[in-house]
Amino acid sequence: MRIGQGFDVHAFESGGRLVLGGVLVPHSHSLKAHSDGDVLLHALCDALLGAAGLGDIGQHFPDTDETYRHADSRTLLRSVGEKLQARGFTLVNADMTLIAQSPRLAPYIAAMGETIAADLDAPVECINVKATTTEHLGFTGREEGIAALAVVLIDRQSRA
Ligand code: MG
Protein backbone atom coordinates (compact mmCIF):
# COMPACT_ATOMS: atom_id res chain seq x y z
CA MET A 1 0.00 0.00 0.00
CA ARG A 2 1.13 3.55 -0.71
CA ILE A 3 -0.20 6.92 0.37
CA GLY A 4 -0.05 10.27 -1.40
CA GLN A 5 -1.03 13.81 -0.57
CA GLY A 6 -1.87 16.79 -2.73
CA PHE A 7 -2.45 20.49 -2.19
CA ASP A 8 -3.50 23.24 -4.60
CA VAL A 9 -4.63 26.87 -4.54
CA HIS A 10 -6.14 29.10 -7.20
CA ALA A 11 -7.12 32.76 -6.99
CA PHE A 12 -10.59 34.04 -7.82
CA GLU A 13 -11.31 36.30 -10.77
CA SER A 14 -14.61 37.93 -11.68
CA GLY A 15 -17.00 36.05 -13.91
CA GLY A 16 -16.35 32.83 -15.76
CA ARG A 17 -17.27 29.29 -14.75
CA LEU A 18 -16.40 27.91 -11.33
CA VAL A 19 -15.76 24.16 -11.64
CA LEU A 20 -14.90 22.14 -8.54
CA GLY A 21 -14.56 18.38 -8.47
CA GLY A 22 -15.74 18.39 -12.08
CA VAL A 23 -19.03 20.02 -11.08
CA LEU A 24 -20.20 23.46 -12.21
CA VAL A 25 -20.85 25.59 -9.13
CA PRO A 26 -22.84 28.80 -9.76
CA HIS A 27 -20.85 31.77 -8.41
CA SER A 28 -19.93 35.38 -9.21
CA HIS A 29 -16.25 34.36 -9.56
CA SER A 30 -14.21 31.58 -11.17
CA LEU A 31 -10.66 30.38 -10.51
CA LYS A 32 -7.77 31.90 -12.45
CA ALA A 33 -5.71 29.21 -14.17
CA HIS A 34 -4.17 27.91 -17.38
CA SER A 35 -6.67 25.02 -17.22
CA ASP A 36 -10.25 25.22 -15.93
CA GLY A 37 -8.77 25.86 -12.45
CA ASP A 38 -10.40 22.86 -10.78
CA VAL A 39 -8.37 23.10 -7.61
CA LEU A 40 -9.92 19.94 -6.12
CA LEU A 41 -9.07 17.72 -9.08
CA HIS A 42 -5.55 19.20 -9.23
CA ALA A 43 -4.94 18.33 -5.56
CA LEU A 44 -6.34 14.85 -6.21
CA CYS A 45 -4.13 14.32 -9.29
CA ASP A 46 -1.08 15.33 -7.25
CA ALA A 47 -2.02 12.93 -4.45
CA LEU A 48 -2.48 10.05 -6.92
CA LEU A 49 0.76 10.79 -8.76
CA GLY A 50 2.56 11.19 -5.44
CA ALA A 51 1.29 7.86 -4.14
CA ALA A 52 2.50 6.12 -7.30
CA GLY A 53 5.87 7.88 -7.18
CA LEU A 54 5.16 9.60 -10.49
CA GLY A 55 6.04 13.19 -9.61
CA ASP A 56 3.40 15.88 -9.91
CA ILE A 57 0.71 17.30 -12.17
CA GLY A 58 3.01 20.05 -13.49
CA GLN A 59 5.43 17.48 -14.90
CA HIS A 60 2.70 15.52 -16.67
CA PHE A 61 0.58 18.46 -17.88
CA PRO A 62 2.86 21.54 -18.05
CA ASP A 63 1.06 24.90 -18.05
CA THR A 64 3.53 26.03 -20.74
CA ASP A 65 1.88 23.49 -23.06
CA GLU A 66 -0.96 25.01 -25.09
CA THR A 67 -2.63 21.57 -25.17
CA TYR A 68 -3.75 22.19 -21.61
CA ARG A 69 -5.08 25.75 -22.01
CA HIS A 70 -8.64 25.76 -20.59
CA ALA A 71 -8.22 21.98 -20.21
CA ASP A 72 -11.07 20.13 -18.55
CA SER A 73 -9.37 18.84 -15.40
CA ARG A 74 -11.54 15.70 -15.58
CA THR A 75 -9.50 14.77 -18.66
CA LEU A 76 -6.33 15.19 -16.59
CA LEU A 77 -7.77 13.12 -13.75
CA ARG A 78 -8.78 10.31 -16.09
CA SER A 79 -5.31 10.35 -17.61
CA VAL A 80 -3.71 10.13 -14.14
CA GLY A 81 -6.07 7.27 -13.26
CA GLU A 82 -4.97 5.44 -16.40
CA LYS A 83 -1.29 5.94 -15.55
CA LEU A 84 -1.86 4.29 -12.17
CA GLN A 85 -3.98 1.52 -13.63
CA ALA A 86 -1.27 0.79 -16.20
CA ARG A 87 1.15 0.25 -13.31
CA GLY A 88 -1.23 -2.11 -11.54
CA PHE A 89 -2.39 0.31 -8.84
CA THR A 90 -5.94 0.28 -7.49
CA LEU A 91 -7.44 3.15 -5.51
CA VAL A 92 -8.31 2.11 -1.95
CA ASN A 93 -9.75 5.49 -0.99
CA ALA A 94 -9.40 9.22 -1.52
CA ASP A 95 -10.28 11.89 1.03
CA MET A 96 -10.39 15.54 0.04
CA THR A 97 -11.09 18.91 1.64
CA LEU A 98 -12.08 22.08 -0.18
CA ILE A 99 -11.22 25.23 1.78
CA ALA A 100 -13.48 28.10 0.72
CA GLN A 101 -15.36 30.89 2.45
CA SER A 102 -17.72 31.15 -0.50
CA PRO A 103 -19.72 29.91 -2.28
CA ARG A 104 -21.58 27.40 -0.12
CA LEU A 105 -20.45 24.01 -1.42
CA ALA A 106 -22.60 21.54 0.54
CA PRO A 107 -25.21 21.15 -2.24
CA TYR A 108 -22.52 20.05 -4.74
CA ILE A 109 -20.39 17.70 -2.63
CA ALA A 110 -22.25 14.48 -3.50
CA ALA A 111 -22.07 15.22 -7.24
CA MET A 112 -18.32 15.84 -6.94
CA GLY A 113 -17.86 12.43 -5.31
CA GLU A 114 -19.86 10.71 -8.05
CA THR A 115 -17.96 12.52 -10.80
CA ILE A 116 -14.57 11.64 -9.33
CA ALA A 117 -15.58 8.00 -8.76
CA ALA A 118 -16.71 7.75 -12.38
CA ASP A 119 -13.50 9.30 -13.72
CA LEU A 120 -11.33 6.98 -11.64
CA ASP A 121 -13.51 3.95 -12.32
CA ALA A 122 -13.79 3.46 -8.54
CA PRO A 123 -16.75 2.73 -6.24
CA VAL A 124 -18.32 5.94 -4.96
CA GLU A 125 -17.80 4.70 -1.36
CA CYS A 126 -14.04 5.07 -1.95
CA ILE A 127 -14.34 8.79 -2.54
CA ASN A 128 -14.93 11.35 0.20
CA VAL A 129 -15.20 15.09 -0.42
CA LYS A 130 -15.56 17.65 2.37
CA ALA A 131 -15.67 21.43 2.49
CA THR A 132 -14.78 23.88 5.20
CA THR A 133 -14.40 27.61 5.63
CA THR A 134 -11.55 29.28 7.53
CA GLU A 135 -13.86 31.45 9.62
CA HIS A 136 -12.99 34.50 7.49
CA LEU A 137 -9.26 34.11 8.26
CA GLY A 138 -6.48 34.17 5.66
CA PHE A 139 -6.74 34.37 1.87
CA THR A 140 -9.57 31.87 1.62
CA GLY A 141 -11.38 33.69 4.43
CA ARG A 142 -11.04 36.98 2.54
CA GLU A 143 -12.55 35.18 -0.49
CA GLU A 144 -9.41 35.71 -2.57
CA GLY A 145 -9.36 32.10 -3.71
CA ILE A 146 -9.94 28.45 -2.92
CA ALA A 147 -7.54 25.81 -1.58
CA ALA A 148 -7.86 22.03 -1.68
CA LEU A 149 -6.22 19.11 0.09
CA ALA A 150 -6.26 15.48 -0.96
CA VAL A 151 -4.99 12.25 0.56
CA VAL A 152 -5.15 8.90 -1.21
CA LEU A 153 -4.30 5.29 -0.49
CA ILE A 154 -3.51 2.96 -3.38
CA ASP A 155 -2.45 -0.65 -3.56
CA ARG A 156 -1.31 -3.21 -6.08
CA GLN A 157 -3.75 -5.98 -5.18
CA SER A 158 -7.16 -6.39 -6.69
CA ARG A 159 -9.98 -4.80 -4.72
CA ALA A 160 -11.73 -7.20 -2.31
MG1 MG B 1 -3.86 23.92 -9.99
Measure 33 CA to ligand 1 centroid, in angstroms: 7
Measure 113 CA to ligand 1 centroid, in angstroms: 19
Measure 55 CA to ligand 1 centroid, in angstroms: 15
Instruction: Choose the weakest-confidence range: 9-13, 71-75, 92-96.
Output: 71-75
pLDDT for the residue numbered 158: 54
pLDDT for the residue numbered 68: 79
Question: What does the domain layout of the chain look like in residue ranges?
Answer: 2-156
Burial letters 133-147, b for 16+ CB under 10 A, else e: beeeeebbeebebbb
Measure 78 CA to ligand 1 centroid, in angstroms: 16
- Kindly report the average pLDDT of the chain as a whole number: 95
| Count of CA atoms in the C-beta half-sphere (13 A) of 133 | 12
Tell me the pLDDT tens digit for each residue of 80-113. 999 999 999 999 999 999 999 999 999 999 999 9
Measure 52 CA to ligand 1 centroid, in angstroms: 19
CA-nearest of 48, 95, 51 to 76 is 48
Q: Which residues contact 13 (CB under 8 A, 6 or more apart)?
A: 29, 30, 31, 32
Considering only residues 54 and 67, tell me which one the structure prediction assigns the higher pLDDT.
54
pTM of the entire predicted model = 0.95
Residue 30: alpha-carbon gap to chain centroid: 15
Measure 73 CA to ligand 1 centroid, in angstroms: 9
Measure 10 CA to ligand 1 centroid, in angstroms: 6
Percent of the chain with pLDDT over 90: 89
pLDDT for the residue numbered 110: 98
- According to CATH, the topology of domain 2-156 is 60s Ribosomal Protein L30; Chain: A; (3.30.1330)
Q: How confident is the model at residue 127 (pLDDT cuts 50, 70, 90)?
A: very high
Measure 6 CA to ligand 1 centroid, in angstroms: 10
pLDDT for the residue numbered 130: 98
Query: How far apart, in whole angstroms, are the C-alpha atoms of residue 46 and residue 8?
Result: 9
* DSSP tag of 158: P
Measured from the Cβ of residue 113, the count of other Cβ atoms closer than 10 Å reads: 20
Measure 103 CA to ligand 1 centroid, in angstroms: 19
Measure 157 CA to ligand 1 centroid, in angstroms: 30
